[in-house]
Amino acid sequence: MNKSYIYTITLITITLLISSCSKWDEKHLKEFSRITSPDSTVDAIKIVDWGGGALTKIVTLIYIVPAGTKINDYDTYLLSATYVDSLALHWIKSGILEINYNKGRIIKFQNIWSSKLDENKPYVVELRLVKVGKD
């Protein structure tokens, strides 16, 4: 076999291994709060990733899952933020989740979550990000 072929196969294998792994290490994740929707259908979950050491930043993640279930895929977060102060989850009503925070760096925010929990229609949640307090 020539070196170019071995190099290509090695590169493809490494790429596939890296892409199949979640970047979240469950041993560093801590569930801080779980709030069930008013109709008891879904839970909003606040997770904090403590990283691996003193030099890593703390990341706050928000998920929605069917009520009482675990997070199956840690890459499906709806919000990720660092340097967050006073982040709180509040159900305004079923289908509307408000995320309040005082300060922080919002890395990713998705304002709609949907899942086929019922065969007849999807369950949809609107997420509202609200900055409270003064700068």
pLDDT in tens, 30-84: 888 999 999 999 999 999 987 755 556 789 999 999 999 999 888 899 999 999 9
Whether 38 and 67 have beta carbons less than 8 Å apart is answered as: no
Q: How many CA atoms lie within 13 A of 70 on its CB side?
A: 6
- b/e map 34-59, b = 16+ CB within 10 Å: eeebeeebbbbbbbbbeeeeeeeeeb
Who's near 118: CB < 8 A, 6+ residues apart? none
For residue 119, being part of any structural domain is answered with yes
Between 118 and 36, whose confidence is greater?
Answer: 36
Reply yes or no on whether the pLDDT at 97 is more than 70.
yes
For residue 74, being part of any structural domain is answered with yes
Reply yes or no on whether the pLDDT at 14 is more than 80.
no
Reply yes or no on whether the pLDDT at 109 is more than 70.
yes
pLDDT for position 123: 94
What residue numbers bound the domain in which 115 lies? 25-131
Tell me the whole-structure pTM to 2 decimals.
Answer: 0.76
Distance CA 111, CA 44 (A): 13
For residue 17, being part of any structural domain is answered with no
Between 7 and 51, whose confidence is greater?
Answer: 51
Residue indicated by tokens 């560093």:
28
For residue 36, being part of any structural domain is answered with yes
Sign of the four-CA dihedral 29, 31, 36, 40 = positive
pLDDT for position 12: 58
Counting residues of the chain whose pLDDT is more than 90, the rounded percentage is: 56
Between 34 and 10, whose confidence is greater?
Answer: 34
For residue 13, being part of any structural domain is answered with no
Distance CA 107, CA 19 (A): 20
**Average pLDDT over every residue of 118-126:** 88
Count of domains for the chain: 1
